[in-house]
Amino acid sequence: MQRFKDKVVFITGSGSGLGRQAALRFATEGAIIAGADISAANNSETAALVANAGGRIHIGNSVDLTDEASVTDWISKAADELGGIDVLYANAGATKFNPIEKTTLDEWDWVLKHELDLVFLPVKHAWPHLAKAKGSVVLVGSTAGVSGSMTNTRLAHSATKGGIIAMTKQLAGEGALHGIRVNCVSPGMIRTPATEGDLLADDHPMKNIQRAIPLQRIGTPAEVISCVLFLASDEASYVTGTNLMVDGGWSSVLPGFGVI
Ligand SMILES: NC(=O)c1ccc[n+]([C@@H]2O[C@H](COP(=O)([O-])OP(=O)(O)OC[C@H]3O[C@@H](n4cnc5c(N)ncnc54)[C@H](O)[C@@H]3O)[C@@H](O)[C@H]2O)c1
């Protein structure tokens, strides 16, 4: 399928995990990618993978998405070079997990900056380009944005991901005035470099969480990105303001042990 033939797709956090998978998949469907990441080395690896797969990708130097000057520099240069922006997949994020007793104000502020500022800034500066193209935006929430957890204590992260889901709805309203659709995917537990070294590590209580997931397994980046491509594409032309849970049913079905 070539759902994105010659469309310009901006991806944040393209150096790893879901962002890298998105760069590969959008490129396979004909898109021209502009990828931003704070790690220039990881982003170069993604660029090589996309190029090896026959795709087209533009990467610059390291972009710090929490820094407005860095974001405007990336967006203006890449949009000029590629001729605008049709899709923004605002995927990047970095976080810290702690229960309320251990969350300092500094840590709270840090998480808001690294999970909300870095979504707000690229959306804000890509917005005029998206309006011109009547484009679409996909944000990334989480099960953490819709459910609490006794195993994974992460107050600030829950606040930011809930905030992203709320931003999706508000931006869908404001975007409709300009012909821009805005949707969100909310992954559950997905195997990526971020979770492999942390929540899925051998000594972490979340390691065995798949028993509580109705589909009984950890998800893959490909399963999330299939939903991102759908929401970003014209196939979802009547979908805006939605939050699509990609979590194996985790946030919808109460934990249990099969039929009694
Ligand atoms: N993996 C999961 O299970 C899971 C579950 C729910 C939500 N998510 C969300 O999916 C998104 C991607 O997660 P992932 O697992 O691929 O993570 P990841 O750590 O593998 O990738 C995130 C990328 O964002 C980049 N990044 C972080 N801060 C940046 C900054 N200030 N400027 C530029 N780039 C920056 C990192 O360098 C990294 O390449 C995140 O928003 C995350 O919260 C992931």
- Summarize pLDDT for 73-130 with one digit per residue, the tens: 999 999 999 999 999 999 999 999 999 999 999 999 999 999 999 999 999 999 999 9
- What the chain holds in terms of domains, given with CATH numbers, is 8-188+224-243 (3.40.50.720)
pLDDT exceeds 80 at position 257: no
C-beta neighbour count of 169 within 10 angstroms: 15
Q: Residue 5 — very low, low, confident or very high, per pLDDT cuts 50/70/90?
A: very high
Q: Tell whether pTM > 0.75.
A: yes
132 burial (CB, 10 Å; 0-12 / 13-18 / 19+) is middle
Atom of ligand 1 nearest to the CA of 195: 1
Q: Which residues pair with 88 in a beta bridge?
A: 10, 137
Number of residues that make up the chain: 260
Atom of ligand 1 nearest to the CA of 115: 41
Distance CA 15, CA 53 (A): 16
Q: Residue 137 — very low, low, confident or very high, per pLDDT cuts 50/70/90?
A: very high
Q: Residue 205 — very low, low, confident or very high, per pLDDT cuts 50/70/90?
A: confident
Q: Residue 258 — very low, low, confident or very high, per pLDDT cuts 50/70/90?
A: confident
DSSP 32: E
Distance CA 222, CA 190 (A): 10
Phi, psi dihedrals of residue 10, rounded to the nearest 5°: -90, 130
Once rounded to an integer, what is the mean pLDDT over residues 189-196? Answer: 93
Atom of ligand 1 nearest to the CA of 193: 20
Higher pLDDT, 200 or 163: 163
Phi/psi region, residue 39 (left: phi>0; alpha: psi -120 to 50; beta: rest), is beta
C-beta neighbour count of 162 within 10 angstroms: 16
Average pLDDT over all residues of the chain: 96
Predicted confidence at residue 22, as pLDDT, reads: 98
Q: Are 33 and 55 in contact (CB under 8 A)?
A: yes
**Residues within 6 Å of ligand 1 by CB:** 13, 15-19, 37-39, 42, 63-66, 91-94, 114, 118, 140, 142, 187, 189-190, 192-195
CA 66 centroid distance within chain: 15
Distance 257 CA to ligand 1 centre (A): 32
Q: Which residue has the least CA distance to atom 20 on ligand 1?
A: 17
Q: Are 164 and 172 in contact (CB under 8 A)?
A: no
- Of 140, 26, 135, 39, the C-alpha closest to 88 is 135
Predicted confidence at residue 142, as pLDDT, reads: 98
pLDDT exceeds 90 at position 191: yes
Distance CA 73, CA 67 (A): 10
pLDDT digits (tens, 9 = 90+) for 143-154: 999 999 998 999
The amino acid that residue 54 corresponds to is G
pLDDT digits (tens, 9 = 90+) for 23-77: 999 999 999 999 999 999 999 999 999 999 999 999 989 999 999 999 999 999 9
pLDDT exceeds 90 at position 159: yes
Atom of ligand 1 nearest to the CA of 39: 37
Alpha carbon dihedral 180, 126, 88, 12, in 10-degree steps, equals -160
Predicted confidence at residue 192, as pLDDT, reads: 92
Distance 11 CA to ligand 1 centre (A): 11
Distance 258 CA to ligand 1 centre (A): 34
